[in-house]
A and B are shown apart, each in its own frame.
Chain A
Amino acid sequence: MAEKKISVKNLRISFRTSNGKVQAVRDISFDLYKGETLAIVGESGSGKSVTSKAIMGISAGNAIVENGKILYGDKDLLKISEEEFHEIRGDKIAMVFQDPLSSLNPIMRIGKQLTEAMLLKNKTARKESRKDMSEMLDAMKRKMDDAGVPDAGSYVSRFRNMEKTHAKLESSYTDALELAKEASARAENILTRLANDREMVPSGDMGGLAHAGKGSIDYFVVRDRASEMKAAADSLSSLRREAIKTGDNTKLSAAVQKIKEIADEAIAFDVPNTFTLGCYLTFVDKEIPKTASVAELNKLTREKADAAFITEFMEQAQKGVKQSLEETDNNRKAALEALRKELPVFTGEPKREDVTAAVKRLKPVVAKCINPLEVVKDSITHTFGSSIDYAVDKYYSGIENNKKEELRYEKQKRKHDALTAKGKAPEWSVIPAGLVDVDNLRSDMEGTITELIMHIEQQIEANRATNVETRTLEVVDFMKDTEQRAAYRITKSVARERAIKLMESVGIDNPRRRYKQYPFEFSGGMRQRIVIAIALTANPDVLICDEPTTALDVTIQAQILELINRLKEERHLSVIFITHDLGVVANMADRIAVMYAGKIVEYGTARDIFYSPAHPYTWALLSSVPDLDTKEKLESISGTPPNMIYPPKGDAFADRNKYALEIDFEEQPPMFRITDTHFAATWLLHPNAPKVDPPKIVMERIAKMKAKRGESNE
């Protein structure tokens, strides 16, 4: 089974309103697998958008998450802080909204809207990486000092200098290689057009080629031919003009051919090892040595760099890493003891003073458990302080709130009873007391501590098995990456090129011209493409589409669906697709969850839902859409969804359900398992229930689809 990307467990969300608590989402669970599309289908008000907004962390202000977990990676999205969410929202999980007109800024050019996030994100990422890098280096220096390495400071500063050179080389080479590839592709395209039609190539395309060609001359292997490349790229526009005037494009073709040759030559070479080269340039020689091939160059620089600095540095760094590991090990053991000692404070009915005092004592001890030379930040230890504070606060405020609520309820009830006793019928009703489960909150508080104890035990175990040498390599690799991120600068022109590429990939013609336009100059489908492109700028793994095609017509809808499908394949996205139209999702959904009144009533693969629907609500949804052969009266769902302030006792759909059994009004049906992938919550699946067939219209349609499939199989 594929990897789970997002896993929602027993999620329960309600909204505080002046009339009482609206239970929008009631106990839903589903999994989103990597590279799959999960469709959430339901009427408006069924809680599908509330769920998706909870995943994005943009729930409305009056939303209360009562219970449940949304696991993404190793994080619970309902518990993490807003700062942590900044790294996930948009970066990892992106969203496409329903109305493309209102989700774009009308007074900003499309290009600006596309690049804005890239530039801002890059700026903060660089700042953070720089901070991380200097923290890491400081820690390294401290630990090396502790381990008794003489002159630790100079090692660290030399390493940093070398890394700077390395990062600069690396980024300029990758950019240039990219551009060389682009130049080659563009040149080929232009050449075929020049050869076949003898038609003149538009200046925009020529400009693109010239840009790519000039950008790639930094690529050091072609430095010999850099001047040739530059000359050819510069001459393009004048040659084009000349060709238009004379009608003869041989010279132009030759120039384009030249660019292609040089670019191809550059691509054919191996990528040099920029790390050793960086080291060579820092400590050995300022000039890049002349060698016959890249492999030889790599060998040469490796030898020289090792001799000059790297071997020595690694030896000393190992000492520091070892020191740090030992220290944290001891600290952890001490922390474990302290935690175990304080644990009884949190059981029973603890007093607030005791608990806060214990927390105050624990915090510094736990903070010491963090190994400063850790590559993977261990989030549980890091967030212990804030999460325990949060849990404690929630518990005591919960107790207070319960007292207040009870008082209010009593008072209101008294008033109501008095009025009814007088024979009046008050227009208002008594709002039920919104009590919080205090026991649950207390166990949360205790759970935070026990979780940490288990976690530290595991870590001590893991440390025992660690090899200092590999650990040192990891640390150095990590520092390399961090420096790289700090040096990776997205300038406006880079962002522009990337935005244009994105626009091309979402199917916008002539992106260079479109880049400068305003949203109102685009049609509905094009606008939705732009919105999708913006969502993709940060390369997310999960894309949430909230009714992306509802505002669009059939042909455009088909195009957008195809686009989302294609992007899913290309970028290995996992997609959550929210819609009220079952017909739309047949094409793209791998799994479908049908929601009604805040509950998932049926969950299964697309084939399960379409070929063997089990819940009456799914039947109703399927039969209320006419297909191309429908002639008889449509089966509409009568009535309206229930008021979720007072959710019905039994099945929420019972009132509107033609097939409702008596028990449907009494008790909520559990999720019945039909197959391993197919679940439905309806009493009709109970072994004692009468056998009921789906409505005729659905049966006929399924029979027809089966017949069609049979034909195509033969």
Chain B
Amino acid sequence: MSDDKRDNDVLLKVENLSMFFGKGDMVKKAVNDVSFEVRKGEVFGLVGESGCGKTTTGRTIIKLYDATSGNVWFDGKRIVAGTKSYYDEIKAQKARRKQLVKDGGAQDQIAACDEKIAQMRAEIRKAKYDHNHCDDDFRVEEKKRIEEKFTELLKDASPEEAAKLRKQMRRELKVAAHSKLVTQIQMIYQDPVASLDPRMTVREIISEGLIIQGIRDKKYLQDQVYEMLDTVGLVHEHADRYPHEFSGGQRQRIGIARSVVMKPKLIIADEPISALDVSIRAQVINLLNELRETMGMTILFIAHDLSVVKYFSDRIGVMYFGNLVEMTDSDELFRHPLHPYTRSLLSAIPLPDPDTEKNRVRIRYNPLLDHEKTDEEPQLREVCPGHFVRCTEKEFIAYRKQVSE
């Protein structure tokens, strides 16, 4: 695959995304400078132990949190834009300018600083606009697209057909007026019990999103609900039941139906199987796999169970304390894990084999011991094509050597 083609295929692009909680000394860096890309139709797995920021990453992408800095591009549009990095730059430039003035530095250098500050301010304005108005722009575009489509159609239509088409156009325009770019990303939550409203029937749960979008056509809603129930392997009678009448696996299916009904381009599945029994897990994984094949869904799969992630994902990113430490194809990751943390994770997977299990040695990861002490901030580097590891320059060379062997 050439590089250009790769870029065209990218559905979700996360650029230096950071999400900090708290202020001043108490700041918690839940996600720190994470970058990755998810291509159309692939499953990208995000793994790490609890508290490493994988869920926060998912939630920041879907704008449940306002990112601290960094960008998220979805389908070519910027939907999330943080500003902290620009403010930091302004601060640095201001300090530099002050120093230059004090030292009596060259005029052009001061001018360069001013220019840089102005540039950053413009960036901030742009970022804020994009962050808050991406949906408005999207709506305008949608409207334009629909109008164009129908004027084309209306040109050579008979009067009766034209009336019908106009009606359809009005409906689509209404939906477009309520539409949001972010609804094309849907989430599946971990706990099927807590994520479904106990006072709503399955029909209400599944159609809620469509109703919010402005669809009032009862017939259309019913068709959609039934279609979704078929897709996820439930029967039509289930539509009028309440969530508590279902088993764990069936509830998770309802959760999946609720997100798939919005026809999303990307699904963020946040540990969808961790709370389920083993026998039900297989059902849900198979269902997600089918959806992916039939509907060409792209999935960002967040989990801590590595054997499932391996089975399900095309590419995997490993997170450790807010940082992405390794990212590559899933086979490659399991064959040649490079980062010591990944190796420790892999060594912790329980296997259904008593003899090897009894001799298993778990590798412990200690960031202070496993890395040489340097002042250099480690960065994500491409060790071999498609295989990224967060490392320092020196480690990078060592990894390369390791790979070539």
A residues at B contact (CB < 8 Å):
43-44, 523-524, 552-559, 561-562, 580-584, 586-587, 589, 606-607, 610-611, 620-622, 624-628, 630-631, 633-638, 640, 701, 705, 708-709, 712
Instruction: Tell whether, in the assembled complex, residue B282 and residue A634 are in contact, meaning their CB atoms are under 8 Å apart.
Output: yes
28 contacts across the A-B interface (CB closer than 8 A): A43-B279, A552-B50, A553-B49, A554-B305, A555-B345, A556-B50, A580-B279, A582-B352, A583-B351, A584-B350, A587-B350, A607-B354, A622-B352, A624-B282, A625-B281, A626-B307, A626-B311, A627-B351, A633-B286, A633-B289, A634-B285, A634-B286, A636-B279, A636-B282, A637-B279, A701-B352, A705-B353, A708-B353
Question: Which of A552, A586, A630 has a CB less than 8 Å from the CB of B354?
Answer: A586
Interface residues of B in 328-363 (CB under 8 A from A): 334, 344-345, 347-360, 362
Known A587-B357, A705-B355; 17 more pairs at CB < 8 Å: A554-B345, A558-B348, A561-B350, A562-B362, A580-B279, A583-B307, A586-B354, A607-B354, A607-B355, A625-B307, A626-B308, A628-B310, A628-B351, A635-B282, A636-B283, A712-B356, A712-B359
Q: If the complex has contacts A44-B277, A583-B351, are A556 and B49 also in contact, measured as CB distance less than 8 A? A: yes
CB distance from B365 to the nearest CB of A (A): 8
Q: What are the 6 closest A-B residue pairs judged by CB atoms, nearest first? A: A626-B311, A553-B304, A636-B282, A624-B282, A558-B348, A587-B357
Instruction: Tell whether, in the assembled complex, residue A558 and residue B283 are in contact, meaning their CB atoms are under 8 Å apart.
Output: no
CB distance from A434 to the nearest CB of B (A): 27
Instruction: Tell whether, in the assembled complex, residue B283 and residue A625 are in contact, meaning their CB atoms are under 8 Å apart.
Output: no
Q: If the complex has contacts A624-B281, A626-B285, are A555 and B311 also in contact, measured as CB distance less than 8 A? A: no
Within 8 Å CB of B282, what residues of A? 624-625, 634-637
Within 8 Å CB of B279, what residues of A? 43, 580, 620-621, 624, 636-637
Bound-state CA distance A91–B311 (Å) is 44
B residues at A contact (CB < 8 Å):
49-51, 247-248, 277-283, 285-286, 289, 304-308, 310-312, 334, 344-345, 347-360, 362
Bound-state CA distance A44–B278 (Å) is 9
Question: Which of B348, B355, B360 has a CB less than 8 Å from the CB of A554?
Answer: B348
Which residue of chain B is the closest to A611 with respect to CB atoms? Answer: B354
Within 8 Å CB of A587, what residues of B? 350, 354, 357-358, 360
Which residue of chain B is the closest to A635 with respect to CB atoms? Answer: B282
Instruction: Tell whether, in the assembled complex, residue A554 and residue B286 are in contact, meaning their CB atoms are under 8 Å apart.
Output: no
Bound-state CA distance A628–B355 (Å) is 17
Bound-state CA distance A640–B305 (Å) is 24
Bound-state CA distance A555–B360 (Å) is 14
CB distance from B248 to the nearest CB of A (A): 8
Which secondary structure dominates where chain B touches chain A? helix
Which residue of chain A is the closest to B287 with respect to CB atoms? Answer: A636
Q: If the complex has contacts A43-B279, A523-B51, A620-B279, are A627 and B354 also in contact, measured as CB distance less than 8 A? A: no
Bound-state CA distance A586–B352 (Å) is 5
Within 8 Å CB of B308, what residues of A? 626
Within 8 Å CB of A553, what residues of B? 49-50, 304-305
Within 8 Å CB of B247, what residues of A? 640
Instruction: Tell whether, in the assembled complex, residue B278 and residue A621 are in contact, meaning their CB atoms are under 8 Å apart.
Output: yes
Within 8 Å CB of A626, what residues of B? 285, 307-308, 310-312
Bound-state CA distance A637–B308 (Å) is 17
Within 8 Å CB of A634, what residues of B? 282, 285-286, 311
Bound-state CA distance A559–B51 (Å) is 16
CB distance from A625 to the nearest CB of B (A): 6
Bound-state CA distance A581–B248 (Å) is 16
Task: Report which residue of B248, B350, B358, B362 has the largest number of chain A beta carbons within 10 angstroms of its beta carbon.
Answer: B350
Which residue of chain B is the closest to A638 with respect to CB atoms? Answer: B283
Instruction: Tell whether, in the assembled complex, residue B285 and residue A558 are in contact, meaning their CB atoms are under 8 Å apart.
Output: no
Within 8 Å CB of B345, what residues of A? 554-555
Bound-state CA distance A483–B248 (Å) is 56
Bound-state CA distance A557–B362 (Å) is 12
Q: If the complex has contacts A554-B348, A555-B348, A628-B307, are A606 and B289 also in contact, measured as CB distance less than 8 A? A: no
CB distance from B330 to the nearest CB of A (A): 10
Bound-state CA distance A557–B50 (Å) is 11
Within 8 Å CB of B334, what residues of A? 628
Instruction: Tell whether, in the assembled complex, residue B307 and residue A627 are in contact, meaning their CB atoms are under 8 Å apart.
Output: yes
Which residue of chain B is the closest to A637 with respect to CB atoms? Answer: B279
CB distance from B349 to the nearest CB of A (A): 6
Question: Which of B283, B286, B312, B350 has a CB less than 8 Å from the CB of A583?
Answer: B350
Within 8 Å CB of A44, what residues of B? 248, 277
Within 8 Å CB of B355, what residues of A? 607, 705, 709, 712
Which residue of chain A is the closest to B281 with respect to CB atoms? Answer: A624
CB distance from A524 to the nearest CB of B (A): 6
Within 8 Å CB of A636, what residues of B? 279-280, 282-283, 286
Within 8 Å CB of B51, what residues of A? 523
Bound-state CA distance A524–B274 (Å) is 15
Instruction: Tell whether, in the assembled complex, residue B354 and residue A557 are in contact, meaning their CB atoms are under 8 Å apart.
Output: no
Instruction: Tell whether, in the assembled complex, residue B278 and residue A624 are in contact, meaning their CB atoms are under 8 Å apart.
Output: yes
Bound-state CA distance A490–B347 (Å) is 43
Within 8 Å CB of A610, what residues of B? 352-354
CB distance from A230 to the nearest CB of B (A): 39
CB distance from A604 to the nearest CB of B (A): 11
Within 8 Å CB of B305, what residues of A? 553-554
Bound-state CA distance A492–B169 (Å) is 78
CB distance from A589 to the nearest CB of B (A): 8
Within 8 Å CB of B289, what residues of A? 633
Which residue of chain A is the closest to B285 with respect to CB atoms? Answer: A634
Q: If the complex has contacts A561-B350, A625-B307, are A523 and B278 also in contact, measured as CB distance less than 8 A? A: no
Instruction: Tell whether, in the assembled complex, residue B49 and residue A581 are in contact, meaning their CB atoms are under 8 Å apart.
Output: no
Within 8 Å CB of A620, what residues of B? 279
Instruction: Tell whether, in the assembled complex, residue B304 and residue A554 are in contact, meaning their CB atoms are under 8 Å apart.
Output: yes
CB distance from B313 to the nearest CB of A (A): 11
CB distance from B38 to the nearest CB of A (A): 22
Bound-state CA distance A586–B351 (Å) is 7
Within 8 Å CB of B286, what residues of A? 633-634, 636
Bound-state CA distance A553–B359 (Å) is 21
CB distance from B73 to the nearest CB of A (A): 30
Within 8 Å CB of A562, what residues of B? 362
Which residue of chain B is the closest to A44 with respect to CB atoms? Answer: B277
Within 8 Å CB of B362, what residues of A? 558-559, 562
Which residue of chain A is the closest to B279 with respect to CB atoms? Answer: A637
Instruction: Tell whether, in the assembled complex, residue B353 and residue A582 are in contact, meaning their CB atoms are under 8 Å apart.
Output: no
Within 8 Å CB of B280, what residues of A? 636
Bound-state CA distance A621–B283 (Å) is 12
Which residue of chain A is the closest to B289 with respect to CB atoms? Answer: A633
Within 8 Å CB of A627, what residues of B? 307, 351-352
Bound-state CA distance A610–B310 (Å) is 22
Instruction: Tell whether, in the assembled complex, residue A582 and residue B278 are in contact, meaning their CB atoms are under 8 Å apart.
Output: yes
Within 8 Å CB of B353, what residues of A? 586, 610, 705, 708
Bound-state CA distance A581–B277 (Å) is 8
Q: If the complex has contacts A554-B306, A628-B310, A709-B355, are A581 and B285 also in contact, measured as CB distance less than 8 A? A: no
Within 8 Å CB of B347, what residues of A? 558
Bound-state CA distance A620–B283 (Å) is 12
Within 8 Å CB of A712, what residues of B? 355-356, 359
Bound-state CA distance A638–B247 (Å) is 13
Within 8 Å CB of B281, what residues of A? 624-625
Instruction: Tell whether, in the assembled complex, residue A586 and residue B357 are in contact, meaning their CB atoms are under 8 Å apart.
Output: yes
Bound-state CA distance A428–B280 (Å) is 31
Instruction: Tell whether, in the assembled complex, residue A580 and residue B354 are in contact, meaning their CB atoms are under 8 Å apart.
Output: no
Bound-state CA distance A633–B357 (Å) is 25
Which residue of chain B is the closest to A713 with respect to CB atoms? Answer: B355
CB distance from B48 to the nearest CB of A (A): 8
Bound-state CA distance A584–B278 (Å) is 11
Question: Which of B312, B344, B349 has a CB less than 8 Å from the CB of A628?
Answer: B349
Instruction: Tell whether, in the assembled complex, residue B350 and residue A557 are in contact, meaning their CB atoms are under 8 Å apart.
Output: yes
Which residue of chain B is the closest to A607 with respect to CB atoms? Answer: B354
CB distance from A30 to the nearest CB of B (A): 18
Within 8 Å CB of A561, what residues of B? 350
Within 8 Å CB of B306, what residues of A? 554, 628
Within 8 Å CB of A621, what residues of B? 278-279
Within 8 Å CB of B304, what residues of A? 553-554
Within 8 Å CB of B352, what residues of A? 582-583, 586, 610, 622, 625, 627, 701
